[in-house]
Amino acid sequence: MTDTKYIFVTGGVVSSLGKGIVAASLGKLLQARGYKVTIQKFDPYINIDPGTLNPYEHGECYVTEDGHEADLDLGHYERFLNIPTSKANNITTGRIYQNVIDKERKGDFLGKTVQVVPHITDEIKRNIMILGKTGKYDFVITEIGGTVGDIESLPYIESVRQLRWELGKNCLCVHLTYVPYIAAAKEVKTKPTQHSVKLLQEQGVQPNILVLRTEKELPRNICRKVALFCNVDEDAVIQSYDLPSIYKVPVILAEQEMDKIVLQKMGMSPDSQLNLTRWKKFLDNMETAEKTVTIGLVGKYVELPDAYKSINESLLQAATYHKHKLDLRFIHSEKLNEQNVVELLGDLDGIVVAPGFGQRGIEGKFVALKYARENDRPAFGICLGMQCMVIEFARNVLGWAGANSTEMEPNASLRVIDLMEEQKHLTFMGGSMRLGAYDCRIKKDSKAYDAYKSELIRERHRHRYEFNNEYKKQFESKGMRCTGINPDTSLVEVVEIPELKWYLGTQFHPEYNSTVVSPNPLFMSFIKAAVENYG
Ligand code: GLN
């Protein structure tokens, strides 16, 4: 292998077609043939990163090991490829412009007029190639966010055009479009795809491979028609129809030999073996599972399941490894109260209390946790969920009615969750939380140790507030133990009530570190408890 190969994935017609899943699936197939692959996402919006975005805008904010607040598609890349991503895997227009403007202020452009072409496009191209230039990867797949035709996407498509010219066979473009089914006419329609490809061609990019997103499998003549109108080989018109699980997408792309076509088009031998054994075993478990584990996710963004994407996927992975189907119920924390708690939580096998920010919906989280604690239901609190476990315990077991987090009540009389020292004087909101992977030392006689089977672990974080160590003794004496501690700062990372079957909260986010072939140990342990107790 000499040159790094660059594959671009663009999208047309509408958003939400699943470009991230197609990029991750293609990456999976190349990886399963023995190649080293990384996937990156270029987002045309002007935010520096999605960290400051409301989850209703773009779903979950994913966090990389190196502490970057990233687009949720990076979560898909990690779950599919089982390798970590980093800050370099997610670039936004905001960062591109910031870099260019910083250079301009330093005088780096030597008096030239700074323009979209070539200065912005050069910066986009430089960023596209950063990971490739490390020499660590055979393939760099770049997903371009947004839809072709958007004003914001133009500099990115122009950069792809230039790179295709410069890189020749080492560059390939996959375009994902939508083929709708018009029920009244009983027909599928290819016109939106034709128009979308024309738009791309007008911008100087001819796609090599088309992936058609459809509801149902398309007849072959439709693919032939699209090939004819779009200057694409017939076998390079691939379809991606709706499937019961996103994890099946690599399999249907492989059936259509998408990986082979990519290799051939890039002048590489398609003879390597495609090894998807572990992946297929997972799918097999998923399909043959007969029993169901029912988990309730208590949070305030439940209208938009993407807001908790990594938690949903971690639960699904763990349930699959326990040979159970997952029935995941989203429970709106704003609507949960003492009156309806039995009705809403009574038949659950386990309860997850979600991460989050701010006061809205917090009371419902306390109601859920009180119910779980008093009725000994497996309960898993993540980040804000863990902080709520601490507050609920303080109020209802220690009898400290005034206990709260200073996030919710800055003048609380008992600040059991308080702002971290280094957070106290920050003025910038973006990228300033405690972010990324930190060490955590686990006490041996704990559920956390049973899960990880290790005294030293590393998990990712995204928070400003922490357990207040001043009160640790009182908590421990009444039955809530701190079983995971950061060895450098003494920050509490895990709390448990050992007396209960499984009642555990983590200040970190284990959901960012759970993949199809390597599910997170805490999710595995939680689902095991849920299955054993009530399954
Ligand atoms: N709002 C809490 C904090 O900042 C928890 C954050 C989270 O759940 N990610 O500490």
Q: What is the reported pTM?
A: 0.95
Residues assigned a catalytic role: 383, 509, 511
Q: What is the pLDDT of residues 387-414, one digit of tens each?
A: 999 999 999 999 999 999 999 999 999 9
The β-bridge relationship of strands 350-353 and 291-299 is parallel
Least confident of 86-95, 151-160, 425-434: 425-434
For 437-456, what is each residue's pLDDT tens digit? 999 999 999 999 999 999 99
Q: How confident is the model at residue 534 (pLDDT cuts 50, 70, 90)?
A: low
Please report which confidence band the pLDDT of residue 428 belongs to, taking 50, 70 and 90 as the band edges. confident
Q: How far apart are CA 65 and CA 105, in angstroms?
A: 31
DSSP states along 495-520: EE-TTSSSEEEESSBGGGG--SSS--
Evaluate if residue 425 carries a pLDDT over 80.
Answer: no
For residue range 255-297, list pLDDT tens digits in order: 999 999 999 999 999 899 999 999 999 999 999 999 999 999 9
In order, the DSSP letters of 330-390 are: EEETTT--TTTHHHHHTT-SEEEE----SSTTHHHHHHHHHHHHHTT--EEEETHHHHHHH
* Cα-to-centroid distance, 149 and ligand 1 (Å): 37
CB of 144 closer than 6 A to ligand 1? Answer: no
Whether the predicted pLDDT of 532 surpasses 60: yes
Mean per-residue pLDDT over the chain, rounded: 95
- Pick the closest to residue 42 from 136, 138, 155 (CA basis): 155
For residues 23-34, average pLDDT: 98
Phi, psi of 419 (to 5 degrees): -65, 135
Which residue do the tokens 């491979």 mark? Answer: 209
Is the pLDDT reported for residue 535 higher than 60? no
**Residue from 69, 297, 432, 464 whose mutation best tests the ligand 1 pocket (most atoms within 8 A of CB):** 464
Q: Give the pLDDT mean for 176-203.
A: 94
- As a whole number of Å, the end-to-end CA separation of the chain is 50
Residue 2: pLDDT over 70: no
Residue 432 has pLDDT above 90, yes or no: no
The whole-number pLDDT of residue 496 equals: 98
Type of residue found at 356: G
Is 423 a residue whose pLDDT tops 90? no
Choosing from 384, 408, 434 the residue with most ligand 1 atoms within 8 A of its CB, the one to mutate for a pocket test is 384
* Distance in Å, CA 406 to ligand 1 centroid: 11
User: pLDDT (tens digit, 9 = 90+) per residue, 337-380?
Assistant: 999 999 999 999 999 999 999 989 999 999 999 999 999 999 99
Residue in the block written with tokens 């974080």: 461
Q: 155 with 43: CB under 8 angstroms? A: no
